[in-house]
Amino acid sequence: MLSGIRVEPPAFVTHGVIVTGVTLCVRARTAKLARMYRAMVIEGGFGLDRLAIVERNEADPKAFEVTLSMRAVSLNYRDVLMIRGQYNPRQPLPLVPLSDGVGEVVAVGERVTGLAKGDRVCPLFCQRYFAGEPTKEKIASTLGGPLDGVLREQMTLSAESVVKVPAGLDDAQAATLPCAALTAWNALVEQGGLVPGQTVLVQGTGGVSTFALQIAKAMGARVIVTSSSEAKLERARALGADHGIDYKKTPQWGKEALKLTDDRGVDLVVEVGGAGTLGESLKAVRPGGTIAVIGMLAGGASEVNVIPILMRNIRVQGVFVGHKEAMVRMLRAFDSWSLKPVVDRVFPWTEARAALDHMVAGAHLGKVALGF
């Protein structure tokens, strides 16, 4: 039985959040620490068909740790690559997958301050990345590989590696924050230096891209969205997009973006396709502009002409999620803007395979989540 979830057949939009098939409700009771809990793991080899539910034992948290009862988790394309063995073929198994989630504190170590039972928190994607520049050690502390992830009923972790979430977000919305939201925030604000009046091009309508659209509009930017679906482009316009380009009908969408900016070019491109779309991004961006590379949906290897990067002084910036200080700043901004993450659909956590298939099919807009 799903605690806190009531299933309803119709799809609807409420407070800017698209929900299909489920309504999230307030829990009737506070979660408690359970000695045995269930987790979903990849074991016996890589592949979506290797996902299995196992039972594990939960010990009391140590002095500086907290134990969470997970309330919701959300999916990222990285999760699919990790489960398939394409992200890191040498990843030790078994592994609890998924990196984005929210939980309720059910036990607190004796030396923990600032957190109490009942607090709702998100685990950091990079458990040891709190501020400053990334290091090899910091970016090796990621949930969902190499560390066990969030697809489990309970998890214990360092108290400094979680962040309280705003009360105005429901569980599914809060579960999208540590990876997808922070990646978009980092690309646009922390590293992108976005200012009001600039133009941002966002590729697609997945989780990071939809967050980028929402953040850019909240900051007073103009946004161009690309998609292969006219229906998705209409939904993106409803979220504030100024222009939409159907890249199936307009394969050379970089030139179309130039036209939409009077041949000036966009200030920043949120590049989720990778090498397969980088060429068009280089056509779309202005001299001195930025391409924030955050994904590789269109492939990780391709021939790319680097001459425009040099001749037009283009900055190509890799974005690997972000650190705790950035997440705190992001949540403060979201709260002030009353920004609500877009959740396309919520599945029961035991139906993770179906949820992953739904995401891979690409029919969603925003995030796909799992409820406990």
One digit per residue, the tens of pLDDT, for the chain of length 372 reads: 333 333 333 332 323 333 333 323 333 345 778 789 999 999 999 999 999 999 999 889 999 999 999 999 999 999 999 999 999 999 999 999 999 999 999 999 999 999 999 999 999 999 999 999 999 999 999 999 999 999 999 999 999 999 999 999 999 999 999 999 999 999 999 999 999 999 999 999 999 999 999 999 999 999 999 999 999 999 999 999 999 999 999 999 999 999 999 999 999 999 998 777 999 999 999 999 999 999 755 444 557 778 889 889 999 999 999 999 999 999 999 999 999 999 999 999 999 999 999 999 988 999 999 999
Strand 285-293 versus strand 243-246 pairing type: unpaired
**Intrachain domains 5-179+322-371 and 192-318 with the same fold:** no
Q: Which residues contact 42 (CB under 8 A, 6 or more apart)?
A: 50, 51, 52, 83, 93, 94, 95, 97
277-294 burial, b for 16+ CB within 10 Å, e for fewer?
bbbbbbbbbbeebbbbbb
Residues paired with residue 200 on neighbouring β-strands, in sequence order: 223, 268
Domain ranges of the chain: 5-179+322-371, 192-318
Nearest of 129, 128, 149 to residue 78 by alpha carbon:
149
> pLDDT at position 30, please?
57
> pLDDT at position 26, please?
34
Whether residue 326 contacts residue 160, with contact meaning beta carbons closer than 8 Å, is answered with no
> pLDDT at position 59, please?
86
Q: Tell me the one-letter amino acid at 73.
A: V
Q: Which residues contact 24 (CB under 8 A, 6 or more apart)?
A: 4, 5, 72, 170, 171, 172, 346, 371
Question: In Å, what is the CA distance from 205 to each residue of 139, 271, 367?
Answer: 26, 12, 9
> pLDDT at position 20, please?
31
For the domain made up of 192-318, the CATH class stated in words is alpha beta
Cα separation, 133 vs 248, whole angstroms: 38
For the structural domain made of 5-179+322-371, what CATH number should be given? 3.90.180.10
Strand 266-271 versus strand 199-203 pairing type: parallel
> pLDDT at position 284, please?
97
